[in-house]
Homo-oligomer: A and B are copies of this chain.
Amino acid sequence: MNSPLRGACIIGQSGGPSSVINSSAYGVIRTALDSEFITKVYGANHGIKGVLNDRLLVMDEEDPEELERLLYTPSSALGSCRYKIADPDADDTDYKRILEIFKKYDVRYFFYNGGNDSMDTCNKISKYMNKVGYDCRVIGVPKTIDNDLFGTDHCPGFASAAKYIASSVMEVSRDSQVYDVGMITIIECMGRHAGWLTAAAELANTMGDGPDLIYLPEVDFDMDKFIADVAKCYKEKGNCIIAVSEGIHYADGRFVSEAETSATDGFGHAQLGGLAAKLAAVCKEKIGAKVRGIELSLLQRCAAHCASGTDINESFLAGKTAVEAALEGATDVMVGFECNRENGYECKTKLFELSKVANFEQKLPVEWINEDKNGVTEEFVKYCLPLIQGETPMVKENGLPHFCNLKKVFAE
């Protein structure tokens, strides 16, 4: 264990936001502000681009009570980016600039809050600083509703989206069964390559209002099988609720959302309305039922009003642990979770090597997909249910969320 460095820290956020990415940022900011070793806490405005552009927000200038609202404020409060940093061996321009900024502000701690790509950025910066001999501790703070980061039991952000999806599926399920004429309802969830979020619809079945069928990107999609599955369910129950991942694809790799189908030829363009509407049109044509396609869209990743209390607490913990670990000498790692579900649910933080995390997508285990490839097993429910427990501490005013509004004072 190394002794703490004295110097400033930067926290940046990157990639698509979530309901709780700010809880993690707050975990970093609060812990860093409270540290006697960290002299200044900067927020990079729009992730690594904020560093490159010398746009650093001074967190020390923010009101502590307002900062605390970050716990339940969705989206990336510091601003995000989707900037892919070059390989330093190919082009080290960005790295030189980052080093320049780090030196300018005496930055000895760099925390990066994001998903796969962000962990890659983190890893590259860490390696570069080590190579040039600049003493700086670099730690990744995970975030992704997609839940696809390697090593960690689960990712901050996933559970809140999962809770929103399960709650919404329950509500839509009730809504779509009021008439004595049945309906086929298709609910499209995010997850381009991993089916975690769509699988979360299954949690609704623990309360008796869940989906009948679930289709994930881990399995090749077969339109004829899909139509047969839906037709069978609709015939038996007079109703059918289906959760589909935006990333379902045919065996040849084409996304169903982008490929043409007989039912949507000519107007099934992926840009317009997307997969749920398309599959609904197919069901209408082939099965002749009343249909409804619902795309949960951005709502599922920003519905802070329905966030998981467990997710908020764990997200904060991930940020807090990142600072504590960095103070103790850790670098080039990502904070993740190790969980035990044997007697209740226990979640501990654990550090993972960034090089092992970066650029690897953790998919839903195929053993958790049922034999018919149209649902998930009880194992998934056991895994996921503990994560969505507890409610948000969100403060409301006038019946609406009172989100954090930062002053955003830029460093000179």
Contact = CB atoms under 8 A, between A and B. Distances in A.
A278 B299 CA distance: 19
Interface string A289-333: 000111111110111111010100000000000000000000000
A271 interface: yes
Contact of A273 (B170, B179, B277): B277
A400 B207 contact: yes
A175 B301 contact: yes
Interface stretch (A71-79, A124-132, A133-141, A217-225): A71-79
A388 to B, nearest CB: 4
7 contacts: A75-B174, A167-B305, A167-B400, A168-B303, A172-B298, A271-B284, A299-B299
A269 interface: yes
A251 interface: no
A306 B308 contact: no
A174 B204 contact: no
A359 interface: no
Interface in A161-204: 163, 166-168, 170-172, 174-180, 185, 203-204
Contacts of A305: 167, 171, 305-306
Copies of this subunit: 2
Contacts of A3: none
A385 B399 CA distance: 8
Given A180-B49, A299-B299, A396-B391, A174 B74 contact: yes
A207 B272 contact: no
A397 B207 contact: yes
Interface stretch (A86-94, A101-109, A231-239, A260-268): A260-268
A294 B310 CA distance: 28
Contacts of A204: 400
A405 B310 CA distance: 27
A264 to B, nearest CB: 7
Given A73-B174, A268-B272, A281-B272, A294 B302 contact: no
Contacts of A299: 168, 171-172, 294, 296, 299
A204 B308 CA distance: 23
A407 interface: no
A71 to B, nearest CB: 14
Contact of A267 (B82, B268, B396): B268
A46 interface: yes
A221 to B, nearest CB: 19
B302 A298 contact: no
A402 interface: yes
A209 interface: yes
A34 to B, nearest CB: 26
B272 A398 contact: no
B294 A297 contact: yes
Contacts of A123: none
Given A172-B298, A207-B400, A266-B267, 6 more contacts: A13-B178, A208-B405, A272-B272, A295-B297, A306-B306, A390-B399
A49 B403 CA distance: 47
A80 interface: yes
A205 to B, nearest CB: 10
Nearest to A208: B405
Nearest to A402: B207
Contacts of A298: 172, 175-176, 185, 292, 294
A157 interface: no
